[in-house]
Structure 1
C-alpha cells in the first residue's frame, strides 16, 4: 500500500473495502445468529418472554460499558493504535461464542453428573447468546471510530460510511443466505454434522478470516502519531501538564509524557497489524485495561464519571440526533430480530414447540428459512442503496435521505399488517432495506460533521472539546444498542400479551411512524 498513507490511499475504495471486512464479518454473525437464535431459544424451552429477555441482556450490558470503552479508546496509548486493540479483544469474544454455541449439548452432557441437565443447558445457551450479542454490538464502535478518525471533508465522510453501510449490508446478505440454506443435504452438512453445526462453523471461519484481514491492513496510528486535534480531544478530560511548552499526556502511573504532533504518515512496516511477530497478550491487556480500576485502596472511576458527564452535557444537536437514532433503530432492529419468527408462526402457521418432524414444526422451519430469504432481499436492497447513498446525501441532504428511508419502512410495515401473502410479504420486506442503509450511514456522517464544525453545532456546550469523537460515536451507538434492548424485551412482552406474532410488525410500524417526525427535528 506504499510507504506513505495519503488521503487518496486512506479513502480509496479498495482500502475502505479491506478495512471494512471486519464490518462484514461482524454483521454476518449478527444477521445469521440473530435470525436463527430466537427460534433456537424457543425450541430449547424458553418462553417468548424468556427468549426476549435473553436477547435483551447482551445489549443491556453493552449500553453501560460501550461509552466507557469509547472514551478509553480515545485515550488508548497502545503502540498498535487506539482502535485495533478493542476490535481484537471483542473479536475474540465473538470467536469464543461461535465456538461454544454448536457444542452446548455436548458440554451439557459432560457436566450432567454435576448439574441438572435442563437448567445447565439453558444457562449455558443463554450465556453464549449474551456473549455473542454483547461483543458483536460493541465491536461496531471502534470500527466506526477507525473510519471517522482521518475524515476531514463531507466527501470523505460520505465515502467512508457509505462503504461501511455497504459492507454491513453485504455481511447481512451473506448471513441471511447461510441461514436460508438447508445444509442437511449438502456435503458441508455431512462433514460438519447437521444444520446447526454447519451454520456456526461457517460463521466462525468467515468471521475469523475477516477479522485477520482487517486488523492486518487497517491504518490506526498510535495516539502520539494522531493529528493535533485528535490529541486535544483525547486528552481534554485529563489535567494536561506541559513539558518544555509541549502538551503532555498522563500515563497510567501518573507521569507526564510529552506529545509531539506528527502528520498522518506510516511506513509499510508500521501499517500492518503484525499479529505473529508483535502482538502479545500482555500488550493487548495493558492497552485495554489501563483504565479499569486496580485492586488498591484508590479506585479510579474516571471513565464511568466521564461517560456520565458526557451524557449529561450532550449538546442539543447531538441529543436530537441520539433520540431520532434510537427510534429509527428500534423500528428496524425489531423488524430484523423477529421477522423470521413472524414468518414461521403467522404466515406459515407453524409452531416452534411442536414435536420434531410434525407438520406444524416443519411448517415453522420452512417459515424460518423463507423469513431469512426475505431478510436477504432486505439486505440486498440495503447494499445497493448504500452504493449510491453518498450521492443521494449530497443531492438531497442528510435529513431528507433519512426521511426517505424511514418513510418507505413505515409504509411497508403498515401494508404488511393487512396483506399476508408470502410473495407480497417478501417484497415488502425488501423495501425495508432502504431504512437499514440510512440508519447505518446518515447518523454517523452527521456526527462526524458536527465534530468538524463544533463551533456551530456544539455552541451550547460548556466544554465542546470534552466530547471526543470516539466517545460521541460510542454514545450514538448506545442509542442503537438501547434500541435492541427495547425491541428484544418490549416487543416480546407485547407478543406474549396479544398472543400473535403480528404484534412484532405492528410495533415496528409504530416506531417507524414516530421516527419520521423525530428525524425532521435534526439539524
Structure 2
C-alpha cells in the first residue's frame, strides 16, 4: 500500500470509476462554457467600445503568442513543482484565477473605463444590430456597419484597455488551463484508465461547449433576471463565471495528488537513472529499481511505500535550463505529432472563429456592413443565429463521438481512427463550400465535432503511450548518434508542447485569414482553407508513430 505520514495514497494505483473520471474532467466543461461566451460576444463587445476592426485580429493574436512560449514552460515547471497540493492542481487554480479575472473584465471593461474617466455620448440612433439581446456572432473580422453611431467610434482608451486585458487573460488562461487539467487526469489514473479518461475529458468538453452556445442564444434581456444584472451579455458571463468556479472545485477536490517529494523524485532528490527500453535513450523522471517494472512516468506504483523510497542526489546536468531544452530538442515522433496537431487545430480554428460569418454571408447572402433594418442586415443576423445553433450541434457531436473512440481504437487501431476522423471533417468542410445551404450547415457541422473529439483525445493518448512505453519509436537511436546527451522528458512538458500547437494555429489563422477572405471576395475561403488544412493533417497522421496502439 502507498502510505505516508501525511496520508494514504493507495487510491492512485486503483482503477477509477466513471464518476471519478467525470469529476476529474469537470474543469474542462467549465472552460468550454467560457470558450462559448468568448467566441460569441468578444468581437461585438470590442466593436461597441470603439476598437477599429483592422486591429481586431491583432487582439486575437496576443493570446496565442503568450501561450506558445508560456504553456510549455508551465508544463515543465509543473513536472518539478514541489507543492504539498501536488504538481498540477496549483497551476489549475492559478490559471482559473486568470479565467475569472477575464470573465469579469470582458463584459465590464466599459463600466470600469467610465468610472476612470472615459466619456460616452448618448447615441442618436440605433447601434448597428450588435445589441446584447440578439448578437451571438463569433466573427473576428467583421467591419462595423457604416451607419454606426459616431459615439461608438470615439476613442475610449481605458475601456479598450480593460477589455483587451480581459480578452487576453480569458483566451490565454482557457487554452493554458487545459494542459494541467489533462495531465492531472493522466497522473492520478492508471494507464488502463487513460483511454476512458481522455474520452470522458472530451465528452465533458463537448457537453460544456454545447450548453454554452445554447445559453448564449437565449434572450436573457427579456427576463427579470437579465434586467437586474444589466443585460444579456452580463447574464451570460455571470452564469459562466459561477459554472466555471463550481467545475474547477469539483476537479481539484476529486482525487488527492501525491506531492513530488512523496514520490521520491523531488528536485533536490531526483533519482538519476537512465531507463532503457529497446536501446532507446530518453529518460523520464522515474523511481524504478528494475527496468522490467511497469512504467510510471511520475506516478506512484503499487506496493510502494513512499516514506521508504531511497533518495539519490540530483545530477548537475538535470537543471531547469537543460530540461527546458527538451521542449525544442524533442524526439522525431513527438515532432510529427506536433505538426499533425498543428494542421488539425488550424483547420478547426477556421470553423470556430469564422463559421457564423460564413453562414451569415455565404449561406444566407447577408452583409455585416448593411444598415440596420435592411433585408441584407436581417439575413446576416439570421445566419449568425443559425450558425450558432449549428455550433451547438458540433459540440454535441464531439461528446457523442468521444464515447465511441475507445472502442474504435480497440477495433481498428489508432492510425485509421486518427486519419479517417480528419478526412470526415475534410469532407464536411468541402461539401459546405459547394453546398452553401442551411440544411447542409446543420447536417455537416457535426463533422467538425468529430475533429474536435479527435483533437482532444488522440494526441494525448499517444503522448501517454510514449511515456508508458518509455520510448518514442524506432528513430530514437539514430538521433542519439548526433546528440549523445541523454534527455529528461516529463509528461507535463510533452502534453503542454503538443497543446501549444493551438496557439500557433490561432496566431497564423488570425494573421492571414482576413486577408485571404478579402482577396478572394467570399467567406467560402474559410471552409475551403479548413478542408485543405484538415487533409494535410490526415496526411501527417499517416506518419505518426503509434507503437502498436
Q: TM-score range by the shorter chain?
A: 0.7 to 0.9
**Deviations 1:261-287 (Å, cap 9, x if unpaired)?**
965799xxxxxxxxxxxxxxxxxxxxx
**Partner in structure 2 of residue 136 of structure 1:** 174
**Deviations 1:367-394 (Å, cap 9, x if unpaired)?**
3222111111111111011111111111
CA RMSD of aligned residues (A): 3.2
- Partner of 1:149, secondary structure, is helix
**Partner in structure 2 of residue 127 of structure 1:** 165
How far 1:145 sits from its partner (Å)?
1.1
8 Å CA contact 2:45–2:107 kept in 1: the answer is no
Larger radius of gyration: 2
Closer, same or farther: CA 96–205 of 1 in aligned 2, 3 Å: same
**Partner in structure 2 of residue 282 of structure 1:** none
**Partner in structure 1 of residue 75 of structure 2:** 70
- 144-153 or 69-78: bigger deviation: 144-153
Closer, same or farther: CA 419–132 of 1 in aligned 2, 3 Å: same
How far 1:314 sits from its partner (Å)?
0.5
**Partner in structure 1 of residue 254 of structure 2:** 217
**Deviations 1:201-252 (Å, cap 9, x if unpaired)?**
11111111111221122332111223x6x769995899xxxxxxxx999xxx
8 Å CA contact 2:118–2:157 kept in 1: the answer is no
- 216-225 or 127-136: bigger deviation: 216-225
- Partner of 1:440, secondary structure, is helix
Please state which structure has a larger fraction of its residues in helix. 1
* Separation in structure 1 between the aligned mates of residue 11 and residue 460 of structure 2, nearest angstrom: 23
Q: How does 1:89-488 map to 2 (within 5 A)?
A: 89-112=94-117, 117-153=155-191, 155-226=192-263, 235=270, 303=320, 306-307=323-324, 309-354=325-370, 360-455=376-471, 457=473, 458-459=476-477, 460=479, 462=484, 465-488=487-510
- Partner of 2:156, secondary structure, is helix
**Deviations 1:347-369 (Å, cap 9, x if unpaired)?**
33444445556654444333322
* TM-score with structure 2 setting the length: 0.78
How far 1:11 sits from its partner (Å)?
2.2
Residue segments in structure 1 that go unaligned for 5+ positions in a row: 239-246, 250-259, 267-301
Closer, same or farther: CA 343–235 of 1 in aligned 2, 3 Å: farther
**516, 520, 523: which one pairs with 2:542?**
520
* Separation in structure 2 between the aligned mates of residue 233 and residue 36 of structure 1, nearest angstrom: 47
**Partner in structure 1 of residue 531 of structure 2:** 509
How far 1:181 sits from its partner (Å)?
2.1
8 Å CA contact 2:26–2:248 kept in 1: the answer is yes
Residue segments in structure 2 that go unaligned for 5+ positions in a row: 1-6, 121-153, 274-284, 288-297, 305-318
Closer, same or farther: CA 321–49 of 1 in aligned 2, 3 Å: farther
- Partner of 2:500, secondary structure, is helix
* Separation in structure 2 between the aligned mates of residue 4 and residue 455 of structure 1, nearest angstrom: 27
* Separation in structure 2 between the aligned mates of residue 47 and residue 499 of structure 1, nearest angstrom: 21
8 Å CA contact 2:99–2:174 kept in 1: the answer is yes
8 Å CA contact 2:13–2:302 kept in 1: the answer is no
* Separation in structure 2 between the aligned mates of residue 163 and residue 400 of structure 1, nearest angstrom: 21
**507, 512, 517: which one pairs with 1:490?**
512
* Separation in structure 1 between the aligned mates of residue 397 and residue 92 of structure 2, nearest angstrom: 28
**Deviations 1:114-163 (Å, cap 9, x if unpaired)?**
9984333333322211111110010011111111224553x322111111
- Partner of 1:38, secondary structure, is helix
* Separation in structure 1 between the aligned mates of residue 408 and residue 175 of structure 2, nearest angstrom: 27
**Deviations 1:167-199 (Å, cap 9, x if unpaired)?**
111111111112222222234323322221111
**Deviations 1:453-496 (Å, cap 9, x if unpaired)?**
22452544556651111111111111122112222222233223
8 Å CA contact 2:362–2:524 kept in 1: the answer is yes
* Separation in structure 1 between the aligned mates of residue 372 and residue 322 of structure 2, nearest angstrom: 52
* Separation in structure 2 between the aligned mates of residue 483 and residue 233 of structure 1, nearest angstrom: 37
* Separation in structure 2 between the aligned mates of residue 117 and residue 234 of structure 1, nearest angstrom: 56
- Partner of 2:253, secondary structure, is helix
8 Å CA contact 1:75–1:234 kept in 2: the answer is no
- 35-44 or 377-386: bigger deviation: 35-44
8 Å CA contact 1:42–1:353 kept in 2: the answer is no
Closer, same or farther: CA 248–146 of 1 in aligned 2, 3 Å: closer
* Separation in structure 2 between the aligned mates of residue 248 and residue 397 of structure 1, nearest angstrom: 29
Structure 1 segments of 4+ aligned residues over 4 angstroms from their partners: 2-5, 7-10, 42-49, 113-117, 230-238, 260-266, 302-305, 353-362, 461-465
* TM-score with structure 1 setting the length: 0.81
2:62 matches 1:53: no
* Separation in structure 1 between the aligned mates of residue 41 and residue 272 of structure 2, nearest angstrom: 43
* Separation in structure 1 between the aligned mates of residue 55 and residue 303 of structure 2, nearest angstrom: 51
Closer, same or farther: CA 482–265 of 1 in aligned 2, 3 Å: farther
